[in-house]
Structure 1
Amino acid sequence: MTGTRSGTTRPARDERTQAVVDALLRDGRALPLSEIARRLDLAKSTTHRTLAAMVAAGDVGREGRLYRLLEGEPGRANQRLTARRADARRALSAPVGRLFTRTQLTVSAAVLNGRLVDYAYRIHGRDELWTGSDQTGQGPVLGSAAGCALLAWDPPAALRVAERHGLHPGERAQLRRELADVRRARVAVHADPQSHALCFAMPVFDAQARPWAALVVRGRRGRVDVSGVVHLLRSAARSAGSAISATG
């Protein structure tokens, strides 16, 4: 903390940056400047300067009035993430479209972004289900089908996520068991009790058999042909992976 002439204290610049990161990570959604300033107990002008610097550094993204964390290492790493999102949109827009045509459900292409999952491309189905990721384009890694699909075949990424979340040994063991279950089933499934959504996710592997992205299908619980969706999702992920490997 640094002192002011009045004898009070205010966060130093590095502390303000970390406070912004903490605020944006707290519930995994984008926030307006006024809400970030309120949470940090700072003037809007000070918060705006801090956010502007973080946007310029590639650590925070701005979409209209909302700011969202570009999770991962600053600068060049976030430029690579931006490029990967664009690559995912280009490579997976056709598979997403075909899945939507076959299922009429909400279908997304997702990439890993540190503690978060970025939904790079999405077509909304007719289920009229809306979650936080529909507004921000992001969602948590842990507790999501997309996150589990991306981590299950990538142990180093799973370890990094566990470290960033500060999971204790028991929680890490539970995460390993959950990811092992996903590998055995070859599909990640997550039910959201609040939105009544049922999500299915499969990784799209690159030429080195690494999870490059994930395809995600979401529908309303009780109204989804589970076996049919899983069959179509596996087929789409396999075809997309073959196409990516061939062009990579």
Structure 2
Amino acid sequence: MNDEYPVKATHTSVRVLRAVMGARGVGVSELARRLDLSKSAVHKHLQTLTALGLLAREGDDYYLGLGLLKFAVAARERFRVYEVALPAVEQLADVSGCVASLLVYESGRGVVVAQTRGDDALTPPLSEGDAVPLHANAAGKTILAYRPAEEVDRVVAAGLEAVTENTITDGERLRRELGSIRDRRVAFDREESATGWRSVASPVTDSRQRAVAAVSVSGPTDRMSGKTLEEDITGLVVSTAKSVENDLL
């Protein structure tokens, strides 16, 4: 038995949920093929998850059920920063015309808990609910810069995966950049997490000056460059993050 997942059946049910989410409507045979499981085993999991309201069946296809929504809402609302920051993130998207997001720190990872698109914004590579590698984007680096050194050490020791050719994969280089971020309270992502996209982020810290979240704005490279990126949007992001932080304290 895998020590990471002691209860195999639970792990399989989560695999089923994730496969259904990725397919957006899928039948038993296709799920069995994708998961490399027998159709009878997949069918039992589908039946159980459907009875619990976590999946919904339409004809021969299965979809995520609205019963999951209650879990998601409860998980997000336990973070006070979400409630405090949401109006500010929405205003930031409106003023910048780009994609504004709130990344929350939880158990060594960053999760996008709120995201709003400005009127002219394109669909971003990350969306609400996505977990991101902290070393590979502006919001994640901002959070790392304001976490204890031992947490940075763990991230480096686990390996800095290259998401794009611009991702920082060297531990010492990452540490140097985190020091610069602490000096300025701002981080940049220049196509480090998605080719063709850039972002800028600033931390939301607690009373101990540890990051609990980060506010960011992202957009395509042709819109996020020069003075627009380095001054205009950066100023908006930093002031928004500081406003959220003040409201939390």
Instruction: Give the TM-score normalised by structure 1.
Output: 0.66
- 8 A contact 1:116–1:138 mirrored in 2: no
Equivalent runs, 1:157-172 vs 2, <5 Å: 157-162=151-156, 166-167=158-159, 171-172=170-171
Cα separation, partners in 2 of 1:104 and 1:66, compared to 1, 3 Å: same
Q: 2:94 aligns with which of 76, 89, 101?
A: 101
Q: Deviations over 1:139-198 (max 9, x none)?
A: 4123111111111110244344445xx228x84434323322322342111133755221
- 8 A contact 2:202–2:241 mirrored in 1: yes
The whole-number CA distance in structure 2 between the counterparts of 1:241 and 1:158 is 22
Equivalent runs, 1:57-96 vs 2, <5 Å: 65=63, 82-85=76-79, 87-96=80-89
Verify: 1:141 aligned to 2:133, yes or no. yes
Between the aligned residues of both structures, percent identity stands at: 26
Verify: 1:123 aligned to 2:116, yes or no. yes
Where does structure 1 lack aligned partners over 5 or more consecutive residues?
Answer: 2-11, 68-77
Cα separation, partners in 2 of 1:152 and 1:16, compared to 1, 3 Å: farther
Question: Partner amino acid for 2:35?
Answer: L
- 8 A contact 2:98–2:121 mirrored in 1: no
Q: 1:239 aligns with which of 228, 235, 243?
A: 243
RMSD: 4.3
Quote how far apart the aligned CAs of 1:216 are.
Answer: 0.8
> Any idea what SS the aligned residue of 2:123 has?
coil
Greater shift after overlay, 202-211 or 178-187? 178-187
Aligned to 2:22: 31
Q: 1:41 aligns with which of 36, 41, 63?
A: 36
The whole-number CA distance in structure 1 between the counterparts of 2:45 and 2:6 is 10
The whole-number CA distance in structure 1 between the counterparts of 2:186 and 2:117 is 21
Aligned to 1:187: 186
Question: Partner amino acid for 1:212?
Answer: V
- 8 A contact 2:98–2:120 mirrored in 1: yes
The whole-number CA distance in structure 2 between the counterparts of 1:162 and 1:98 is 35
Aligned to 2:212: 212
Verify: 1:202 aligned to 2:206, yes or no. no
The whole-number CA distance in structure 2 between the counterparts of 1:41 and 1:81 is 31
> Any idea what SS the aligned residue of 2:122 has?
coil
Aligned to 2:105: 112
The whole-number CA distance in structure 2 between the counterparts of 1:89 and 1:15 is 33
The whole-number CA distance in structure 2 between the counterparts of 1:36 and 1:174 is 42
The whole-number CA distance in structure 2 between the counterparts of 1:13 and 1:218 is 39
Where does structure 2 lack aligned partners over 5 or more consecutive residues?
Answer: 57-61, 66-71, 161-168
Cα separation, partners in 2 of 1:62 and 1:207, compared to 1, 3 Å: farther
Instruction: Give the TM-score normalised by structure 2.
Output: 0.65
